[in-house]
Structure 1
Amino acid sequence: MSYEKDVKSYRVEGLSCTNCAGKFERNVQNIEGVTDAKVNFGAGKISVCGQVSIEQIEKAGAFENLKIIDENIFGNESVPKVSLLQKNLHVLLATCFVFLGGISMYLQGEDSLLTIGLFLLAILIGGYNLFLEGLKNLLKFEFTMETLMTIAIIGAALIGEWSEGAIVVILFALSEALERYSMDKARHSIRSLMEISPKEANIRRGGKEISLSVKDIQVGDTLIIKPGQKIAMDGVVIKGYSAVNQAAITGEAIPVEKKVHDEVFAGTLNTEGLLEVNVTKRVEDTTLAKIIHLVEEAQGERAPAQAFVDTFAKYYTPFIIISALLIMIIPPLLFAGDWNSWVYQGLSVLVVGCPCSLVISTPVSIVSAIGNAAKQGVLVKGGIYLEEIGQLKAIAFDKTGTLTEGRPVVTDFVNLSDNLSDSEVFSKLAALEFFSQHPLAAAIMKEAEIRGINYSTLTVTNFSSITGQGIQGDLQKMTYFIGRPKLFAAYLDNNPALVQDYLTLEKQGKTVVLFGTKNKVLALVAVADKLRVASRGVINQLHSLGIEHTIMLTGDNRHTAEVIGTEVGVSEIKGNLMPEDKLSYMKELQEKYAKVAMIGDGVNDAPALAAASVGIAMGGAGTDAALETADVALMGDDLEKLPFIVKLSRKTLRIIKQNITFSLVIKSVALLLVIPGWLTLWIAILADMGATLIVTLNGLRLMRTRSNQL
């Protein structure tokens, strides 16, 4: 038996309710050698810190027949597959005895020893584990679902209601089995992503091609991917050209062109050419692995609705027990009621009062929605954000890379130097921009490549970024600046013609930067970024969905902002903004609209993204910063996923409300049947089972929701 000293995660099969999850967690924490344990109910996982074996953990979950699987071998063929029928053979056997008991009751009467014996066998076989757990809890005064059912069934036997006791056991066991199956199905929605990535891959080492397990592939290895094969690791293409289907990561249905220097992801499909890829991440660090980890963590986060349900259930269960007790004793004691009849009614109240459907109503919906969103290229980091998105009243957009494609190109270059050629000025400009991370720098570098300008011989020193204004650096013993007019204010005051040229380019919707020294502007560079094809349609959809206000926040000049903002159709446009200005506007929007989202690239807009009710990052695939910092990430850089996640979130909220309402209403109606004395044990269990199944199936509908169905 092997042990692990550090924190280790395991998958848990059969975890069907939050109460059971809490009990399982406490049981594992009490194992000798364990210092801490944490159950993630939504994802069906447990993390254990300390020395412990799988056998010990399974023993701690024996009350629910939980199956524990090492996280690292999930999806492996060595893990035995057990069918729903195999898991519940005891239910089938108990049902047979109930059927035989029914025949015996018809032929020999309900009081015959054979009839009672057959029903007793059904009760013991179908409810063995239930009774063990219920009696243990009863001795500890823990009034769980198992405790309520155990009291009810024992009580039914004591007053001679053997047939109803047996039927209650069967229906309860069936309800538990279906509930467990439904939750496992919802969890498998995201776990199935693990199975799309190959377990082995062909690599080249030392001039030889060999096949290795992905666990043994190292960063720096060369991966060989043939047409039709799935890519096993994240990496960068070093040879070849192909189209890769990235639907598993980004939700994009159309294959994406991949050439040298392009990034590829584990789990995606190479459709055409042969690719050679330099591996950049180990298997546990791939984008796919991070998505799965983050989604499972999100599925374990409690949404506000879940917190309400858990608090309600905390008081609801004791209320049901006290009510049942009063129903049993008050009518016989005060109104000369029949003891057997009212004890029976009280037992029925215990059964119908089980909070199963209420407790399961929210998590099954959240798990289904988050898993479905991830498979369609939208990573939601928790149930709380799913609820927040559904309540949004305003959305703020960054411009570059969000409403526009984020691939600006140089449209104009005006050389203002008296003694330097275009290529000389541009080489200095490119040498300085080489150190910048701004999107405009990429456009200038691309233009330098097109012009065939060699800037690598120029050495830049003392490079620094001037927040919100530009950059500076020393080149050939001279300090140069690139950026906004503020950097050249003194020079521009004395050159109105240059200011006019600058404004003319801006009015055309172009972003203009100046290049020069402290005393002279040497060049004007105009850059334009193409509007995304989907941007205007997305804004229209959001307005039609009832989003009251859309605002574009950009650091670009007012003229460029006006051109882009007007074309895309946002409600409000703000340009010339510093990062702190975006933050201020975000706070103003929150004061006015309460629920506000900010969508940007996840890095440059960090303050505004953090301040928003929900921070949404574009292009999360391959961007660690976006994956880690954003509340929501659009993995495929696809703005059209924004209306989809808004609609999915609203549908999730509707379903949660439907589930909670239905669960409470059906139980209330069943409890009212006590007044005329119509409530029976089998009606009680059918009400409880029916409510549980309906809220579960209603929540599972979210797994199949697609953007074109909303």
Structure 2
Amino acid sequence: MFLYLVMGFDQKKKNQLDDRHQGENQHDHGVHAGLFGNLTEMIFAILSGFLLGIGFLLQYLKVISPSMAIYFYIGAYFFGGFFTLKEAYEAIRQGKFEIDFLMLFAAAGAGFLGEWAEGALLLFLFSLGHALEHYAMNRARKSIAELSDLAPPTAIRLSGTEQQEIGIEALNIGDIILIKPNSKIAADGLVVKGSSAVNQAAITGESLPVSKMANPSIKLDFEKLKNEHRVFAGTINGAHSMEVKVLRKAKDSTLSRIIKLVNEAESQKSPTQHFTDKFEKYFVPFVLVLVILLMFAFLVVDESFKESFYRAMAVLVSASPCALAISTPSAVLAGVARAARAGILVKGGGPLENMGQVNVIAFDKTGTLTEGKPRLTDAIPHEGIEPRLLYRTAAAVEALSDHPLAKAIYDGTIERLGTDKISEANEMEALTARGVRAKINGEEVFIGNRLLMREVTGKHIPEDLDLQMTQLEKNGKTAMMVLRNDQYLGIVAVLDVEREEAKETLRKLRQMGIEKMVMLTGDHQSVANSIAERLHINDPRGNLLPEDKVKAIKSLAKGNHTVAMIGDGVNDAPALATADVSIAMGAAGSPVALETSDIALMADRLDKLPFAIKLSRKTARIIKQNLWISLGMVAILIPLTISGLATIGPAVVAHEGSTLVVVLNALRLLSVKED
């Protein structure tokens, strides 16, 4: 009963503990809750030290019988070994043989030899070190755990003029909820009434509030909504009230997906962690064999069994790879948490380490280097064709497509037509990397590039149209011919301007030592050249089909290059999958982009890329430092304890000290600043 009271043990805690030990990181213990809440482990460690101190006083000051000191040492054993024993027991139940067991074995050995003070000191320092380590690690976890607190627990659902406060889990798609001024938004949805500025920093990392406005006529597809019309659960409303139509249930919200993916990322092992796991696999058996041999050293050297056994226990303490086990996971956890605060979702230790090694970056053009919001700049009728016929035909076909270029052509031609009505098109078909096909009043219409026109007509393109296309493309415009029943109606051209932050971002990347930056696009080469010239990209590659982009990524990877591909995470999926590191732009509203990329920039902000690389490189440096600290300490302590120059006390101080140092070193990642 006392154990239940002390631990505050219940089935939920047991399940959490089981889940923790079933995770990949064997030394990544949680903070123990119990009679004193999350401070229970720390208080037990302090009680162990207090009883140890009294025992020392009784033994050396000889105020009363020195034999009384043993009782206090036993008390120190209890409080110092309580959580260590519990963790060792849970690990053994899972078929694991962890460091906690080794420490208990060493402490039991010291007690067996009558060195109660040494054993109590070992357990006190080990428990205190772990308590401090857990406290420090909890700071990193808080950055992730706080994500769960972003969404409010309740929402105000509207039914006519009636307001009803309900739990967010009870919200259904299509419900209308009221968002009061300066309150948290309860669900992903569409603003249908009102306007306000919303702080989206928690989801996208944007430093400034984003203006939101109503548009109740839009189709209810959250992923395709413009940023000014959609809101995310967990973001904070500004000074004005709004009404929002719920488009995702609480369990499917962007915030819920982020929490799930960040928690998964915490358990994903990095290349360095795989190395340390292999090292421990061979190192631990080596240590155990060495300890057994040292226990029988009295058979070949002039010393007692007690002295040999004591030395073996000291070596066991000093050689336990405690700091090594925690060095990489602590840095990965802190790095992932810091990235999440900046609106960058990193899917585990692998991408976090690999991003810092990137020396070649391939950029998708549309929506990545450019705004992805082109506008119609030219609509040139072919000789003898009435302009309005060209406008009506182009508008009718592109009305069926949701592609950004199609929308630009539709909006531009409708503006030119004024009040004129357009015909209704049907049977629209997208033709990969070539254009579109549709029917108007039974007549086939094609809008696309030269390749499509030659494919459809089987003839060369008229010279005047070809020259006009070439001139438009030289000016960086995307030009398309319109063909109806084998008759050319003319050319429409659109221009997608580069992002405002693109040039500065690329300049920072060059300063960071990125050797090569390449632009990959399906647009004409002259269009790619025009954009690249303005952004100072030295290797633009146009006219690429999806399989061509894959080939380009493979060619860039030759010569031991680490290649990152950045795009929208959907259209360039094959190329993204081929790259060493795949990065999705503007992933906040797209589940596909979130789930398919290694790194997701939650906001539609290219200027987050340099910080992602900076953080990755900082993480890699800290991991290396931690490895040197942990392995260096083991390399120093083993010879000292074997030779008898260091006893259990100094060994455990150095052992636990190095463990705490690597954790605190990793936590420095939480304070890395964005430039």
TM-score (normalised: structure 1): 0.86
Which residue pairs with 2:121 in the alignment? 167
Q: Structure 1 residue 84: deviation in Å? A: 4.3
Q: Which residue of 2 aligns with 1:689?
A: 656
Deviation at 1:132, TM superposition (A): 6.4
Q: CA deviation at 1:247?
A: 0.5
State yes or no: 1:211 paired with 2:165: yes
Task: Indicate conservation of the 8 Å contact 2:185/2:237, yes or no.
Answer: yes
1:335 counterpart SS class = coil
Between the aligned partners of 2:570 and 2:59, the Cα distance in structure 1 is 73
* Corresponding residue for residue 186 of structure 1: 140
**What is the deviation of 1:141?**
10
1:448 to partner: Cα distance: 4.1
Equivalent residue for 1:376?
A: 342
- 1:647 and 1:357 map into 2 onto residues whose CA distance is 25
- Within 5 Å, give how 1:475-486 maps onto structure 2: 475-486=440-451
SS in 2 for 1:674: helix
Once the two structures are superposed, residues 74-98 of structure 1 have per-residue CA deviations (whole angstroms, 9 ceiling, x without a partner) of: xxxxxx9965434433222222211
Counterpart residue identity of residue 568, structure 1: L
Alpha-carbon shift at residue 616 of structure 1 (Å):
1.0
* 2:307 maps to 1:353: no
Which residue of 1 is the match for residue 406 of structure 2? 441
Q: 2:515 aligns with which of 530, 537, 548?
A: 548
Contact map agreement 2:152 2:234 (CA 8 A) in 1: yes
Q: Say yes or no: does 1:385 pair with 2:385.
A: no
- 2:282 corresponds to which residue? 315
Q: Match for residue 28 of structure 1?
A: none
Deviation for aligned residue 1:199: 0.9
* Aligned CA-pair RMSD: 2.8
Asked if the contact 1:201/1:211 (under 8 Å) is kept, the reply is yes
Task: Give the Cα–Cα distance (whole angstroms) in 2 for the partners of residues 561 and 43 of structure 1.
Answer: 51
Give, in angstroms, the shift of residue 246 of structure 1: 0.8
Report what 2:432 is aligned to. Answer: 467
1:10 positional shift = 7.4
Corresponding residue of 2:396: 431
Q: 1:586 aligns with which of 530, 546, 553?
A: 553
Q: Residues 158-188 of structure 1: CA distance to partner in whole angstroms, max 9, x if unpaired?
A: 3332222111111111112122223333222
Counterpart check, 1:678 vs 2:645: yes
Kindly indicate whether residue 224 of structure 2 is the aligned counterpart of residue 238 of structure 1: no
How far apart in 1 are the matches of 2:579 and 2:88? 47
Deviations 1:55-74 (A, max 9, x none): xxxxxx9xx8966xxxxxxx
Instruction: Say if 2:203 and 2:234, in contact at 8 Å, map to a contact too.
Output: yes
Partner residue, 1:341: 307
Structure 1 residue matching 2:614: 3-state secondary structure: helix
Ranges in structure 1 where 5+ consecutive residues have no aligned partner: 1-8, 26-38, 45-60, 68-79
Residue 105 (1) aligns with residue 59 (2): yes
The whole-number CA distance in structure 1 between the counterparts of 2:545 and 2:438 is: 21
Matched, 1:145 2:77: no
CA change 1:597–1:413 in 2 (3 A) is: same
Partners of 2:91 and 2:591 in 1: how far apart?
46
Q: Which amino acid aligns with 1:168?
A: L
Partner Cα distance (1:599, 1:271) in 2: 32
Are residues 452 and 200 of structure 1, via their aligned partners in 2, closer, same or farther at CA, if it must alter by over 3 Å?
A: farther
How far is 1:432 from its partner?
A: 0.8
1:629 counterpart residue number: 596
User: Deviations 1:421-452 (Å, cap 9, x if unpaired)?
Assistant: 42x43232122112223321121233245446
Correspondent of 1:399 among 365, 369, 379: 365
Per-residue deviation, residues 598-630 of structure 1 (Å, max 9, x unmatched): 111112211111111111111101112211211
Structure 1 residues 419 and 317, CA, compared in 2 at 3 Å: closer, same or farther?
Answer: closer
Which shows bigger deviation, 670-679 or 452-461? 452-461
- CA distance in 1 between partners of 2:636 and 2:550 (Å): 51
Amino acid in structure 2 at the alignment position of 1:585: A
Q: What residue in structure 1 maps to residue 111 of structure 2?
A: 157
Which residue is 2:202 aligned to? Answer: 248
Is structure 2 residue 526 aligned with structure 1 residue 559? yes
- Inter-CA distance 701–452: structure 2 relative to 1 (3 Å threshold): farther
Q: Which amino acid aligns with 2:566?
A: I
The aligned residue for residue 666 of structure 1 is 633
**Aligned partner of residue 591 in structure 1, secondary structure:** coil
Per the TM alignment, residue 360 of structure 1 is displaced from its structure 2 partner at its CA by 0.9
Q: Give the Å deviation of 1:459.
A: 2.4
2:39 maps to 85
Which range is displaced more, 477-486 or 92-101?
Answer: 92-101
Q: Residue by residue, what CA displacement relative to the aligned partner does 1:83-115 show, whole Å, maximum 9, x if unpaired?
A: 543443322222221121122123218982112
Tell me the CA shift for residue 565 of structure 1. 0.6
Identity of aligned residues (%): 38
Q: Distance in 2 between matches of 1:387 and 1:494?
A: 51
Q: Greater shift after overlay, 669-678 or 446-455?
A: 446-455
Is contact 1:43-1:367 (8 Å) kept? no
Cα-to-partner distance string for 1:455-499 (whole Å, 9 max, x where unaligned) = 876322221111110001000121111110222335984632222
Distance 1:563 1:10, change over 3 A: farther
Q: CA deviation at 1:42?
A: 9.8
Give distance in 2, aligned partners of 1:273 and 1:131.
56
**Cα displacement string for residues 543-585 of structure 1 (whole angstroms, at most 9, x for unaligned residues):** 2222211111111112211111121122311111121211111
Unpaired runs of at least 5, structure 2: 1-10, 216-228
Please give the alpha-carbon distance, in whole angstroms, between the structure 1 residues aligned to 2:544 and 2:113. Answer: 77
The answer for the alignment partner of 1:115 in structure 2 is 69
- How far did residue 276 of structure 1 move? 1.2
**Shift of the alpha carbon at 1:593?**
4.2
Q: 1:523 to 1:457 in 2, by over 3 A?
A: closer
Shift of 1:676: 3.9
Counterpart Cα distance in 2 of 1:655 and 1:666:
16
Say if 1:636 and 1:81 are closer, same or farther in 2 by CA, change over 3 A.
farther
Question: What's the secondary structure of 1:163's corresponding residue?
Answer: helix
Kept after mapping to 2: 8 A contact 1:108/1:115? no
Q: Secondary structure of the residue that 1:189 maps to in structure 2?
A: helix
Cα 1:334–1:109, aligned 2, differ >3 Å: closer, same or farther? farther
* Residue 154 (structure 2) aligns with: 200
CA apart distance, 1:254? 0.8
C-alpha spacing 1:360/1:603, structure 2 compared with 1 (3 Å): same
Letter aligned with residue 191 of structure 2: V
Structure 1 Cα separation of the partners of residues 601 and 159 of structure 2: 36
Matched, 1:532 2:499: yes
Structure 2 length normalisation: TM-score? 0.90
Alpha-carbon distance in 1 for matches of 2:628, 2:441: 74
CA 567–81 in structure 1, closer or farther in 2 if over 3 Å, else same: farther
Q: For residue 181 of structure 2, what is the aligned residue in structure 1?
A: 227
Contact 2:391 2:414 in 1 (8 A): no
Following the alignment from structure 2 to structure 1, what is the Cα–Cα distance between the partners of residues 505 and 431?
A: 34
Q: Pick one of 268, 286, 293 that aligns with 2:253.
A: 286
- The one-letter amino acid paired with 1:497 is D
Change in Cα spacing, 1:188 to 1:456, as seen in structure 2 (3 Å) is: farther
CA contact (8 A) 2:183 2:237 kept: yes
- 3-state SS in 1 of match to 2:284: helix
**Are the counterparts in 1 of residues 181 and 237 from structure 2 also a CA contact under 8 Å?**
yes
8 Å CA contact 2:340–2:346 kept in 1: the answer is yes
Contact 2:356-2:614 within 8 A present in 1 as well: yes
1:598 aligns with 2:565: yes
